[in-house]
Amino acid sequence: MAYSDKVVDHYNNPRNVGTLDKSSTEVGTGLVGAPECGDVMRLQIRVNPETQVIEEAKFKTFGCGSAIASSSLATEWVKGKTVEEAMAIKNTDIVKELALPPVKIHCSVLAEDAIRAAIGDWKVKNGVKEQVAETAAAN
Amino acid sequence: MIRTESPTAKGVKLPIYMDNHATTQLDPRVLEAMMPYLTETFGNAASRNHAFGWEAEVGVETAREQIAKLIGATAKEIIFTSGATEGNNLAIKGVAEMYKERGNHIITQVTEHKAVLDTCKRMEKYGYRVTYLPVNKDGLIEMEDLKRAMDDKTILVSIMFANNEIGTVQPVAEIGKLCHEKGVVFHTDAVQAVGKIPVDVNAMNIDILTLSGHKIYGPKGVGAMYVRRRNPRVQIAAQIDGGGHERGMRSGTLNVPGIVGLGKACEIARVEMAAEAEREIKMRDHLKEKFEKALDYVHVNGSWEHRLPGNLNMSFVYVEGESLLMGINDVAVSSGSACTSATLEPSYVLKALGLGDDVAHSSIRFGLGRFNTPEEVDYVADKVIDIVQKLRELSPLYEMVKEGIDLSKIEWAAH
């Protein structure tokens, strides 16, 4: 299968790889997917408590090149956004940006789930009452 | 494919082909033997009344001898086909039809090639009973399971000689002995074994054997079957009707150049097999040792002892196979990862060993062959090690395991 240049670029130079302190109240962690399915994404955000702006985002992903690229892109996109703005990121935006083929759409769904799960975790920690992000329900 | 000198590794041309279970490069000596039959010696081997036909027939009969000699058969017992998929179909359907008065039970096993499994599934639709034997963690069937599965309606046992993914070599001689004691026809798909390890249809009591040209440095689109003529005589019902070629078992004008090439490939294999196996085993062991030295959480899939010389199937746990292949794009190998398959299911062969899907997703099959060099092996090993280390830096699973978290205790949201 041929990968798009953007997928190859994220694969070769993944952005924001790493780990944030998940015990910090400023940090939200989303862990989605399952090893059996061949995809696990962990996306973490550090949110400024005053402004609710996501100041830092980190990820680690076990999965194919498209899964790695989707989560790498997700960290780039959430950075600098407020929590509410980040909630608006859709998997279809990721599909478009990375030119993912139909068989890889689930990778983008997982990345959206990871964003929502991380924000959900942060909201729970900070007592923000609203809908709790659902975890992976793709495919 | 244009291959160019590696800028870093001396004497290594890229891309490297290390997927010799999928297909093999045509040996130049085979091409040389075929050339006259692709050009001036173009006759139909079935033309009995002129020299064009006679010359073609000489080529075909020489090939029959060469193939027979490699597997300890006689030339008259060799039937030409288009390849092993046809051979496996003909063996199973042909025996089922021919022996249907005697019984309707077929025994096979779960890690067979799809050409066998899907044929057996079709036979179930036609009213046959099929037992799919399990394999143990090494990929081997248990003889006790086979004994227990046999009953007075069993007409055919179809067990592969060696597996295409994990290289596991089944106890063929024991299976053949048991089948002959019970009067059951024994078919083996020997596509991966012939020309790589010793095969003797008489010593191993094999009744029907399928082989293919392109797995042994011969051409694609040609294969052969061995069908036993004595002790006992085995019969198969033709599945392709027509001019009555190949003793009526497989009609159709013979692919003369392909057959000549297959014959030549068998002759080369017979002469060079022992030395080639030794060479491949050395390279394979070296590859495995390099991985084990440099990386943790790697393991070999399938029996190490009962294994094809050129096969190394290894799981690099906590790294997904397709992402690994993406990082070694100048090396041709294959993966058991779902992402590399058309069905998005991980390898059924690896799952049959009792491996978790996660381990199956992390597997890479290295298929060493005649044209691989030790320099290529070093290049591939270093490249894979480098990419595995990079991807583990990216892997949340590897990080969690290193922190002592038991991944099986986590409630994963399956998707």
Contact A67 B327 (CB under 8 A): no
Q: What is the pLDDT of residue B339?
A: 65
Query: What is the reported pLDDT for B414?
Result: 60
DSSP H or E run through B212: strand B208-212
Q: How confident is the model at residue B389 (pLDDT cuts 50, 70, 90)?
A: very high
* ipTM computed for the complex: 0.90
**What pLDDT score was predicted for residue A132?**
47
**Residue A133 pLDDT:** 47
End-to-end CA distance of chain B: 39
Look at residue B63 and give its three-state secondary structure: helix
CB B78 within 8 A of CB B218: no
What are the structure tokens assigned to B271, written together?
């002469």
d(CA B89, CA A39): 37
Q: How far apart are CA B55 and CA A127, in angstroms?
A: 88
Q: What is the pLDDT of residues B299-350, one digit of tens each?
A: 999 999 999 999 999 999 999 999 999 999 999 999 877 666 666 678 999 9
A62 and B395 within 8 Å at the Cβ level: the answer is: yes
CA distance B150 to B146: 6
Under 8 Å CB-to-CB from B366, ≥6 apart: which residues?
Answer: B18, B284, B287, B311, B312, B313, B314, B333, B380
Please tell me which of the candidates B356, B398, B415 has its beta carbon nearest to residue A136. B415
Residue B62 burial (10 A CB sphere; 0-12, 13-18, 19+): middle
Cα Rg for chain B, rounded, in angstroms?
23
What pLDDT score does A136 carry? 46
Interface test with B, best of A64, A70, A100, A104 (most B CBs within 10 A): A64
Find, in chain B, the residue whose alpha carbon is nearest to that of A117.
Answer: B413
DSSP conformation class of A63: S
Q: Which CATH code fits A5-125?
A: 3.90.1010.10
What are the residues whose beta carbons fall under 8 Å from the beta carbon of B227, sequence distance 6 or more? B77, B79, B207, B208, B234, B235, B236, B249
Taking the C-alpha atoms of residue B233 and residue B229, their distance in angstroms, rounded to an integer, is 4
Confidence of residue B413 (pLDDT cuts 50, 70, 90): confident
Residues 6+ apart with CB under 8 A from B181: none
A78 and A89 Cβ atoms separated by less than 8 Å = yes
Q: Which amino acid is at B405?
A: I
Is A109 in contact with A139 (CB distance < 8 Å)? Answer: yes
**Domain architecture of chain B: domains with CATH:** 13-25+273-409 (3.90.1150.10), 28-269 (3.40.640.10)
Average pLDDT for A32-59: 94
pLDDT in tens, B235-285: 999 999 999 999 999 999 999 999 999 999 999 999 999 999 999 999 999
Work out the average pLDDT over A16-36: 95
Q: Mean per-residue pLDDT for B81-104? A: 98
A38–B414 CB contact, under 8 Å: no
Cα dist. A94→A97, B304, B415 in Å? 5, 44, 18
Number of Cβ pairs closer than 8 Å across A and B?
96
The residue type found at B63 is: A
Task: Give residue ranges of B with CB < 8 Å to any A CB.
Answer: 318-323, 326-327, 337-339, 344, 346, 356-358, 361, 393-399, 407, 410, 412-415
Q: Average pLDDT of chain B?
A: 95
Which chain B residue has its CA at the smallest distance from A69's CA?
Answer: B323
Q: Is the pLDDT of residue B357 over 90?
A: no
Distance CA(B43)–CA(B256), nearest Å, equals 8
Query: Closest Cα to residue A57, out of A39, A81, A89?
Result: A81
pLDDT band at B72 (very low <50, low <70, confident <90, very high): very high
> What's the pLDDT at B258?
98
Identity of residue B111: T
What is the mean pLDDT of the segment spanning A103-115? Answer: 95
How confident is the prediction for chain A on average, in pLDDT? 91
Q: What is the pLDDT of residue A138?
A: 42
> Rounded to an integer, what distance in angstroms lies between the CA atom of residue B378 and that of residue B290?
8
Q: pLDDT value at position B10?
A: 83
Query: B396: which chain A residues are within 8 Å (Cβ-Cβ)?
Result: 31, 40-42, 60-62
Q: What is the pLDDT of residues A111-139, one digit of tens each?
A: 999 999 999 999 999 988 655 444 444 44
* pLDDT for A47 beyond 50: yes
Distance from CA of B385 to the nearest CA of A (A): 16
Catalytic machinery residues of B: 339
What is residue B43's predicted lDDT score, i.e. its pLDDT? 96
pLDDT tens for B28-60 read 999 999 999 999 999 999 999 999 999 999 999
| A37, A61, A67 member nearest B414 (Cβ) | A37
Give tens-digit pLDDT for B103-156.
Answer: 999 999 999 999 999 999 999 999 999 999 999 999 999 999 999 999 999 999
CA B296 to chain CA mean position, Å:
29
